[in-house]
Structure 1
Amino acid sequence: MPYTRLGRTGLTVSRLVLGTMNFGAITDEQDSGEIMDAALDAGINFFDTADVYGHDRQRDWGTKGATEEIVGRWLGRAGHRDKVVLATKVYGNWGDWPNSGGLSARHIRTACEDSLRRLGTDHIDLYQMHHIDRRVPWEEIWQAMDLLVAQGKVLYVGSSNFAGWHIARAQEAAARRSSLGLVAEQCLYNLAQRAAEAEVLPAAQAYGLGVITWSPLYGGLLGGVLAKERAGDRHRSATGRAASELARRREQIQAYEQLCAELGTPPGDVALAWLLTRPEVTAPIVGPRTRAQLDAALRAVRVELEDATLAELDRLFPGQGAAPESFAW
């Protein structure tokens, strides 16, 4: 497993991130533990979760917080905590009562204490704001985050689903406080959804943020959805976002799967390998439901895409490029 630094920090992380969103909601605790064991054995040291993970909205099954609890019990096994760079998130709403969500100083403090308890640890390596909260001034947010850092409960602060200008405002506010500020942005970015190239990736690069990308297979759309469809496997790969996108982009996906067939490489491996070629990307998140899916993701680290292949992928999935050139001239 190759490693890299997380943005401008001295923190070393694996080039793949183990996403745990399915743990507790879809994958039971025993299988989740086996996946985490296998990920650590393979050299993945970067685990990502969130305080609200554990509830499957589609099936209305599971409970918020269950994923952190599963990860926490696994971490409790001897030696695991010191090996893992642990990332979780704050923002999600925990009820109808005021102050049960968002990024107020009160909720950040409460949510952090709750996550520490569920995770069974005394510190969070990367505490990420799961979404922008337009109601809260940055001075309040950084006051709360800086206190957690000073207390040793949080080591680094990150963002998720921020626009480029949100990153800029956050960093400028942190600079006024002489704070380290954000060290990573977690965003939607893959071959089929390249909007982040306009402003999010340039902002992250300018401010020295690592970039962690979620949904590398775009809900299954880039994971061989047409081949699975022909084989009669319609599980997830043909539901939700993937289904609606497939109806609109079937010809494009067909050409992509044909290219992968000519390469002799599974489509999911190509999609992950492409992300690993992007200079702005620290690591994509892989969120396996099964051990087999983790093994498939690990293959991508060994896939090398030639320049001609990268050019063809750009032709099939053209990016809009960085702003303002992408729209101004």
Structure 2
Amino acid sequence: MEYTALGNTGLYVSRLCLGTMNFGEGPMTPVIGGLSEKEVKRLVDRAFDTGINFFDTANAYTMGESEVLLGKAIGTRREEAVIATKVNHPMANDVNSLGTSRKAVMREVEGSLRRLGTDYIDLYQTHAWDATTPLEETLSAFDALVRSGKVRYIGVSNFTGWQIAKAYGICEARGFQKFVSAQSYYSLVGRELEFEVLPALNDLGMGLMVWSPLASGFLSGKYSGKGTEAGRRAAISFPPVDPERGDRVVEVLMEIAAEHDASAAQIALAWLLHQPGVSSVIIGARKIEHFEDNVQSVGIKLSQDQLSRLNAVSQPDIPFPFLDLSLQRRQTLEEQFAKLGN
């Protein structure tokens, strides 16, 4: 296993993070599967064996059961583990259970601590942007949690670039604890965060945790030629995939996988691990053999030619505001200088 600092911190996390959305029974179980306590224990034990020290969950995953099962499986290895959880989604029926108001944050952190069986959370993340709560209120609540010792670091999930920058600016102005990381969707068939989110994170020195790196299994190759409405994606086609472009990406993945005697999934994960700014890639497995396959991606080193082939086939259309006008300007200046030299 390889490790890296999470953003601008001294906290080292494994390059692969074990996702726990499928721990326990919940509304999404028919789609993503629900692992029993015994299966969770086996998977978490194996994660530790391979060197994974990073585990991601959320209060809303299987309505808290994911946190319970993760806490039990980690057990006495708490100090070896870096536990990340999230807050935003409602955990009760009252009107104040949703979002990231001070009341909701303070209540939900206590619930997560209790379910995880710990007295602190390593990384506490807001699961989504809350348009109904003033941002300063949320940031003030998160700052108080760090100062109280109940939370070590704070992060965001599913924020846009401007939302990340605004939050960071308020924290600097008010002296609040700053977000150290963002959790976002990123894959070979979903590279849109490269336009705005990734540049913001790199500029601010924040880490990136990637969710759904295989686009709900699409990049494993098992849906190739079938469009996106097959298998798990037949129940919920998310994240969205352009099937024509996606099939072209999978074709190149298969070619490069053969060159490495690896699986398409391993190459898709390895591509992410080669991207600047990516701290850790979240993998979620229903079967231990899928986990064993995924974890091998850390040891795969892609050549520049292989990276270029993957980049070319997966490159999305670039909208105008994100075109590299600075590069265009440099090229124009170089041409003008060349003419002057003649």
TM-score if structure 1 supplies the norm length? Answer: 0.89
Q: Are residues 258 and 69 of structure 1, via their aligned partners in 2, closer, same or farther at CA, if it must alter by over 3 Å?
A: closer
Pairwise mapping of residues 1-329 of structure 1 onto structure 2 (< 5 A)?
1-25=1-25, 26-54=34-62, 64-76=63-75, 78=76, 80-226=77-223, 235-236=231-232, 239-241=235-237, 245=241, 247-249=243-245, 251-263=247-259, 264-319=261-316, 324-326=321-323
Aligned-pair Cα RMSD in Å: 2.2
Aligned equivalents of 2:17 and 2:162: distance in 1?
A: 26
Q: Deviations over 1:105-127 (max 9, x none)?
A: 00000000000000000000000
The structural deviation recorded for 1:325 is 3.5
Moved more, 246-255 or 196-205: 246-255
Structure number with the higher helix fraction is: 2
Q: Are residues 228 and 300 of structure 1, via their aligned partners in 2, closer, same or farther at CA, if it must alter by over 3 Å?
A: farther
Q: Are residues 170 and 298 of structure 1, via their aligned partners in 2, closer, same or farther at CA, if it must alter by over 3 Å?
A: same
Percent identity over the alignment is: 39
The structural deviation recorded for 1:246 is 6.7
Which structure has the larger Rg over C-alpha atoms? Answer: 2
Unaligned runs of 5+ in 2: 26-33, 329-342
Are the equivalent residues in 2 in contact too, given 1:221–1:246 (CA < 8 A)?
A: no
- 1:65 maps to a residue whose letter is G
Q: Are residues 250 and 175 of structure 1, via their aligned partners in 2, closer, same or farther at CA, if it must alter by over 3 Å?
A: closer
Q: Deviations over 1:197-238 (max 9, x none)?
A: 011001111111100000000011101224697xxxx64266
Aligned equivalents of 2:40 and 2:319: distance in 1?
A: 39
Q: Are residues 311 and 220 of structure 1, via their aligned partners in 2, closer, same or farther at CA, if it must alter by over 3 Å?
A: same
- 1:259 maps to a residue whose letter is E
Q: Are residues 268 and 251 of structure 1, via their aligned partners in 2, closer, same or farther at CA, if it must alter by over 3 Å?
A: closer
SS in 2 for 1:50: coil
Unaligned runs of 5+ in 1: 55-63
Q: Are residues 52 and 323 of structure 1, via their aligned partners in 2, closer, same or farther at CA, if it must alter by over 3 Å?
A: farther
Are the equivalent residues in 2 in contact too, given 1:7–1:183 (CA < 8 A)?
A: yes
Aligned equivalents of 2:293 and 2:254: distance in 1?
A: 19
Q: Are residues 121 and 174 of structure 1, via their aligned partners in 2, closer, same or farther at CA, if it must alter by over 3 Å?
A: same
The structural deviation recorded for 1:258 is 3.9
Aligned equivalents of 1:72 and 1:173: distance in 2?
A: 33
Q: Are residues 274 and 238 of structure 1, via their aligned partners in 2, closer, same or farther at CA, if it must alter by over 3 Å?
A: farther
**Structure 1 partner of 2:334:** none
Q: Deviations over 1:267-296 (max 9, x none)?
A: 100000000000110011001112111111
**Structure 1 partner of 2:30:** none
Q: Are residues 170 and 323 of structure 1, via their aligned partners in 2, closer, same or farther at CA, if it must alter by over 3 Å?
A: farther
The structural deviation recorded for 1:257 is 4.5
The structural deviation recorded for 1:260 is 3.5
Q: Are residues 165 and 22 of structure 1, via their aligned partners in 2, closer, same or farther at CA, if it must alter by over 3 Å?
A: same
- 1:49 maps to a residue whose letter is T
- 2:232 maps to a residue whose letter is R
* Total equivalences in the alignment: 314
